[in-house]
Structure 1
């Protein structure tokens, strides 16, 4: 007796496709985890620089399943409904807990500027070295990604550090949207979120997450500053 072919259950093909195209460009062999809830499906993936990214799309989804991202993209591109071969054992990462809270709002233009400055620094150092001395590309990239790009400080002196890894996550996955505008609205702002020991950047089209550098008892407080 033939088995029933499972459906991926994603109806927001355009949104899912945008996520998967970016992901597979960065990592052709990436896997994506689909988790469903109340008529929506969250797509989760790990980027090559160890940042967890997520986008919510329309569709009942398959419940909870991990597949090869390129296979799911192929299904969506041809209008297929079948869930690709499951690769649940290939998902090796935890997820942030529910109940994330926003502790600061950053202008999207500032996040774009920080990302562009990092790209320029990497390009310049790759061409000219540091202090006139050559630097290995991998070591240079890792040092740049680990750089703390933004520090959010609450009035109770708590510090939330946002590394360049998160900034690159939201920008290179296209979570900020299209071309920057000189009058970007509040809807395009990026929110700093905290969920348990995780810190995230939530942009209009997706979220990037990393475990917090320090185990801090963070709580929202006003006013907030960042620098």
Structure 2
């Protein structure tokens, strides 16, 4: 679809602008999907980060339906105080969303989440500078291996035979998007999806089917 025709409907301009600004810094060409939350006067803003994680922040105001636009164009409109919906790019959104219903399986302290993210960034810098076991490794290969690393394993009380694995890419998504506040971060599961939910937004990814690296932290309690 191409025609603007309607306004964006967002009232939480500051919250939406902060979300969009971080998205654009990570990927200037990224899309944002606006999905009204029925009955509460709020809209969920969805986007996909360059490393394959979906992120979402919910803001006040009701978008004119389920629409997708360029993040940079919506940010420019909000920054200018405008109310127009940028040109729709619905055909550009190609990713499924997690189911709306989810269950919490663990809470992580905010400082632990930040520490995990900082340690990963330090490991990447160290490997890029000195190599791995004395051998040089490409930056892309290092990044992909780091993002696939399972940072946390949770064993829910109600499903001890089905551990929940939280990959580093989820941790990085939550931290890089500024979703970690001072409270706890909740690990949630929705079907085949795993999410990290902070005070200011959430990051979601599909469950990791096969592991190539050993987890660094285990949380035995659900």
* TM-score, normalisation: structure 1: 0.88
Question: Which of 66, 73, 82 is residue 68 of structure 2 equivalent to?
Answer: 66
Matched, 1:113 2:120: no
Residue segments in structure 1 that go unaligned for 5+ positions in a row = 178-183, 216-223
Where 1:154 maps in the other structure, the secondary structure is: coil
1:131 CA displacement: 1.1
Alignment partner, residue 218 of structure 1: none
1:106-144 deviation per Cα after TM superposition (whole angstroms, max 9, x unaligned): 101100000000000000111111111100000000000
Give the alignment partner of residue 124 of structure 2, picking from 117, 122, 125: 122
What is the RMSD of the two structures over their aligned residues, measured on CA atoms?
A: 1.5
| Corresponding residue for residue 31 of structure 2 | 31
Please give the per-residue CA displacement for 1:4-51, whole angstroms capped at 9, x wherever unaligned: 831100000000001000000000000000000221000000000000
Corresponding residue of 1:191 = 186
Query: Where do 5+ consecutive residues of structure 2 fail to align?
Result: 211-218
TM-score, normalization: structure 2? 0.90
After TM superposition, what 4+ stretches of structure 1 lie above 2 angstroms from structure 2? Answer: 154-158
Q: How does 1:107-186 map to 2 (within 5 A)?
A: 107-155=109-157, 156-177=160-181, 184=182
SS at match of 2:220: strand
Residue 106 of structure 2 contacts residue 156 of structure 2 at CA under 8 Å; is this kept in 1?
Answer: no
Aligned-partner Cα distance in 1 for 2:97–2:5: 28
Listed one character per residue, the Cα deviations across residues 68-90 of structure 1 (whole Å, up to 9, x for unaligned) are: 00000001001100000000000
